[in-house]
Structure 1
Amino acid sequence: MIAEARRRAFLDAMQVDSWLPRVELPFAAPSRPYLLQAEPEPELTLSTPEPEVDPQPASPPQKRVEMPRPRVSLPEPKPAVVDDAIPVTSEPAPVAPPPRFALQLLRAGSCLLLVELPTGEPFASRDPAYLLLKDLLRAAGLPDSPTQVGDGEPIRWPLLHGGNLDQGAQAARDYVQGVVAVELEEARCACLWLVGLPALRFAGEVEADACNRELNVEGIGAAFAMPGLEQMMEEPERKAELWKALRRSKARWNEQT
């Protein structure tokens, strides 16, 4: 049998305070009475922890101060710089077509006539436009049978169809004024009649608003502007205005007749 001291050592090693057998052991020493009394179990009580009290008084809430934010200005976009070394391609300007007209150069007394041909062909004796021109010459006190100048061929523009020759408005103006200037050198005249819009533009360098009045054309001299023959036939009221203008100006060429 294990001695009592050794049995206690084992119990202590197993952290057992007391041990009682379930049955009576033979030859065992009687158990002590206090060991047979069960110790009352301690009651477990749950305690709520009290909140800790800060001995220092709470400080008042501080006021929030907002600092002004700096304004950020974006830089303005700079214009694009075009490098001169880089060629800038642009669409070519549209080229105006060359003007188209036909003018007849005639002489009546002391006046030279540059008349627009309504059909583009020389006048025939019974053409309505030619009959109107004869009426204008009689009203102005000039011979009503004008004579052709040079070979009688009209001044036509453009000169050539196609090719690289410049046939714009300025070239047409230089050509018409050159033909008139050559004729004036051969025989001086008191006044140059400009009949029709092409004659006004390419000999007198004026527009339709200059009709029914006298002009002074550089390099040519005195001129008288009037509407085209076909326009006067379509708008008869223009004839009355022209008659009045002719009566005012006919003294210029009648003195040298």
Structure 2
Amino acid sequence: MIPEQRRRAYLDAMQVATWLPRTELPFAAASRLELLEPQQEESCEPVPEPVAVTPAPVREAPLERPKIEIPRPGAQPRQAVAEVPAAEPEPVEEKPARVSAPPPRFSLQLLCAGDCALLVELPTGQPFQSRDPAYILLKDLLRAAGLPDSPQLLGEPVRWPLLVRGNMDQGPQAALEFVQSFVAARLEEQPSACLWLVGLPAIRFAGEGDEHSYNRELQIEGVGACWALPGLELLMEEPARKRELWQAMRRVRLRWSAPAHS
């Protein structure tokens, strides 16, 4: 508790003229009774509006007094603390999100005809049927190459993407690695003198080539010599491509013909 004289000195310094303690303070002067009387309620009767009203002079709005906290007895007066504006956060450079390439879509079938293996694009996505025009054209190509025209299946068709849902990477690079490993595993079980890559998906994901690789020989690590051919549907739609194919076959067939193995 602080003496009455010091308490009043604090109140005068804070410009507090009237105050009431919440509890009786020891060593304090007696309260004035007029301050303890309840104030009379104002009358609610309407006041008649005067006929002529003299405009009041414009007064400036009084400045707001700063809120002063009354110190509790025995507490030290607080010092005013200046508000420091918060520093703006430094802009964070957003890195562009890595966009993965959409998965390619293709169906490939690995076949075996004599000393050659054939990785053929399935035009319809389904295994060949005996009366399919594409399969009939493939048989013509095999006969022209001096190979059996009834190729045997080597494993199930490769359909990409492998999964319809899931977070596994099924982009072009994943497809290339899968197709190459699949072909290498099958040819390790049954070696061949030459691998035919029939169709752009077979050339791209097994031989890492493109449409400029048609009728050319490629070398695949772990597989060996390959021959890139246009797709069966493309040959049927553009018969003029067959002439260049026949000319390339005359050079490449030395890889699997009988004199080459003698």
Partner of 1:158: 161
Partner of 2:127: 122
In 2, Cα distance between equivalents of 1:123 and 1:187: 21
Q: Partner letter of residue 251 of structure 2?
A: R
Give the Å deviation of 1:108.
Answer: 0.2
Partner of 1:234: 237
Partner of 1:134: 139
Q: Partner letter of residue 217 of structure 1?
A: I
1:178 aligns with 2:181: yes
SS of residue in 1 equivalent to 2:107: strand
In 1, Cα distance between equivalents of 2:247 and 2:192: 22
In 2, Cα distance between equivalents of 1:175 and 1:93: 23
In 1, Cα distance between equivalents of 2:181 and 2:256: 23
Q: Partner letter of residue 197 of structure 1?
A: L
Give the Å deviation of 1:216.
Answer: 1.1
Give the Å deviation of 1:188.
Answer: 1.0
Q: Partner letter of residue 154 of structure 1?
A: P
Partner of 2:94: 89
The 5 A counterparts of 1:199-238 are: 199-238=202-241
In 1, Cα distance between equivalents of 2:157 and 2:91: 51
TM-score, reference length from structure 2: 0.63
Q: Which runs of 4+ in 1 moved over 4 A?
A: none
Deviations, residues 16-75 of structure 1 (Å, cap 9, x unaligned): xxxxxxxxxxxxxxxxxxxxxxxxxxxxxxxxxxxxxxxxxxxxxxxxxxxxxxxxxxxx
Deviations, residues 169-205 of structure 1 (Å, cap 9, x unaligned): 1110111011101111111110000000000000000
Give the Å deviation of 1:86.
Answer: 6.1
Give the Å deviation of 1:230.
Answer: 0.2
In 2, Cα distance between equivalents of 1:253 and 1:192: 10
Partner of 1:37: none
Cα-Cα RMSD:
1.5
In 2, Cα distance between equivalents of 1:204 and 1:167: 18
1:190 aligns with 2:190: no
SS of residue in 2 equivalent to 1:104: strand
SS of residue in 2 equivalent to 1:132: helix
Q: Partner letter of residue 171 of structure 1?
A: A
TM-score, reference length from structure 1: 0.64
On the 8 A contact 2:137/2:232 being kept in 1, the answer is yes
Percent same amino acid at aligned positions? 64
The 5 A counterparts of 1:18-33 are: none
1:147 aligns with 2:152: yes
SS of residue in 1 equivalent to 2:247: helix
SS of residue in 2 equivalent to 1:244: helix
Mean Cα deviation higher: 212-221 or 102-111: 212-221
Q: Partner letter of residue 177 of structure 1?
A: Q
In 2, Cα distance between equivalents of 1:149 and 1:93: 38
In 2, Cα distance between equivalents of 1:146 and 1:174: 25
SS of residue in 1 equivalent to 2:124: coil
In 2, Cα distance between equivalents of 1:235 and 1:254: 28
Mean Cα deviation higher: 199-208 or 94-103: 94-103
Give the Å deviation of 1:93.
Answer: 4.2
SS of residue in 1 equivalent to 2:256: helix
State the number of aligned residues.
171
